[in-house]
Amino acid sequence: MTTDQPLRLSCMDSEAPPLFSLWTPEQGRQGYEPAVAQLIAAELGRRLEWVRVPWVDMVPAAQRGDADAVLCGQGITPTRLEVMDFTRPYAVFHEGVLIRRGDPIHGPEDLAGKRVAAIENSTNMTLAETFEGAIRVPFGSDSEDVYADMLAALLSGGVDAVVDDDVVFVPLGATHPDYELAFVVQTGNRWGISVSKDRPDLLAELDGALARVIADGRLRAVWKEWLPTLDYPFEEG
């Protein structure tokens, strides 16, 4: 059954494949998260619309009604659960530390005295705060493309490392001329769709749709298409 009411999801507009690409008029947004969103919208019989805003405005956009929900790199954390409700996870990722190729950083102990970038108020920043002696450099409050800004700062020497979820570092590979993955921390971050606390019916609707596309294997197919090098984290049936 289809409806004229679109499903409006807030996100940041950034180039971070295989998670998502910059929006274009010809192709919209491409990647794992847009594919998940399209699955959910199709399951609900609704047209998908993206509300593209800076990272720090994604949740406020949903809270004030400019968007229905947030589907964009939202780890399910106690802090976020204080202000938003979440569906079951549509992804589980670990976190990595990216450095300039050849820099002598191999573990957390090597980050003492180093400038470590992460998106402010994120699970990545929470991890960065555990690196003893590291100088934390938050990104995000005034950025239109926070991921690109962090990579540029790393390349220029403005920071010495970037903390982000392992999935965003997949395209850099093992042979990138500028960057390399120093190490991965097995954090098992669960990502979900966040919904304003005053919309429990919408939360149940989205969670039910997500449960169905997991159970029948449709989410697995999307994962294998976009994230073939990462282990699929869910059971079906």
Task: Give yes or no: residues 38 and 70 share one domain.
Answer: yes
pLDDT at residue 4, rounded to an integer: 79
CATH number at residue 154: 3.40.190.10
End-to-end CA distance of the chain: 23
Residue 147 Cα to chain centre, angstroms: 10
Q: Are residues 134 and 110 in the same domain?
A: yes
Are residues 128 and 67 located together in one domain of the fold?
Answer: no
Structural domain harbouring 207 = 7-90+192-226
Residues of the chain with pLDDT under 70: 1-3, 141-142, 237
Q: Is residue 1 part of a domain?
A: no
Question: pTM of this prediction?
Answer: 0.83
**Do 103 and 180 lie in a common domain?**
yes
Co-location of 82 and 25 in the same domain:
yes
Is 162 a member of any domain?
yes
For residues 169 and 97, membership in a common domain is answered with: yes
Residue with tokens 């990647």: 31
DSSP of 143-168, one letter per residue? -SSHHHHHHHHHHHTS-SEEEEEGGG
Verify that 157 and 123 share a domain, yes or no: yes
In contact, 112 and 132? CB cutoff 8 Å: yes
Same domain, 204 and 180: no
Asked whether residue 154 is domain-assigned, the answer is yes
Q: Which of 148, 75, 71 is nearest to 117 (CA)?
A: 148
| Domain count along the chain | 2
Flag whether 2 is in a domain: no
C-alpha gyration radius of the chain: 18
Residues 69 and 147 in one domain: no
Residues 52 and 132 in one domain: no
Q: Which residue has the tokens 């589980």?
A: 92
- Specify the pLDDT at position 109: 97
